[in-house]
Structure formats: C-alpha cells, structure tokens
Amino acid sequence: MWYAIIGTDHPESLAARKSARPAHMARLQQLHDEGRMLLAGPFPAVDAEDPGPAGFSGSLIVAEFASLAEAEAWASADPYLAAGVYRETTVKPFRKVLP
C-alpha cells in the first residue's frame, strides 16, 4: 500500500537540511530503484521554486510499504529527523486515484 510521509521542519533548519540531504536522498533513491516511490519533494517556505534563505517548511514522500508499521519505521530512521531538520513526521495510508 502507498503511504504519505509528511515531515514538518523546525524553523531555521536550512543548514541542517543541506548537511543531511545526501543521506536523505540516498534513502529516497533506494525506494525509487526498488520501484516503491510515487513522489517526493520539499515544501518551499515561500512561493518560489528556489526559496533561497527562506528554506523549506517540510517534505512529502509517497512510497509503497508492506504496512503502516513498516512505513513508520522507515520514516523514524530518516536522516532529516536525526539531524534536527524535522520536528515531527506523520505517516498516513494513501490511496492513489489519479493519474
């Protein structure tokens, strides 16, 4: 089943995000390589493709896992959480309708 993982950033966490990004991206790439990634990306803190120093307010990942528990375990091991980028993560079942 698909699961939406929503990470909410701490304020002023852009430097930590940049530092932890390679490890975070490696985990996302692994899901993609396994065919389990639907989409992933950050929420810019301002209405701009490149938010510059405003940074990001969080991220959304939609990926396939065998269970909610597996998705929660994966989310709890995210490098952004360990680096203090995310102040919280939420994991919800997701039902893809379109496209």
Report d(CA 89, CA 68) in Å as an integer: 13
Q: Do β-strands 56-64 and 86-94 pair in parallel, antiparallel, or remain unpaired? A: unpaired
Q: Would you state the pLDDT for residue 72?
A: 98
Q: State the Cα–Cα distance between residues 47 and 62, nearest whole angstrom.
A: 22
* pLDDT of 94: 98
- In CATH, the number for domain 2-94 is 3.30.70.1060
In order along its 99 residues, the chain shows pLDDT tens digits of 999 999 999 999 999 999 999 999 999 999 999 999 999 999 999 999 999 999 999 999 999 999 999 999 999 999 999 999 999 999 999 999 999
Q: In degrees rounded to 5, what are phi and psi of residue 98?
A: -130, 155
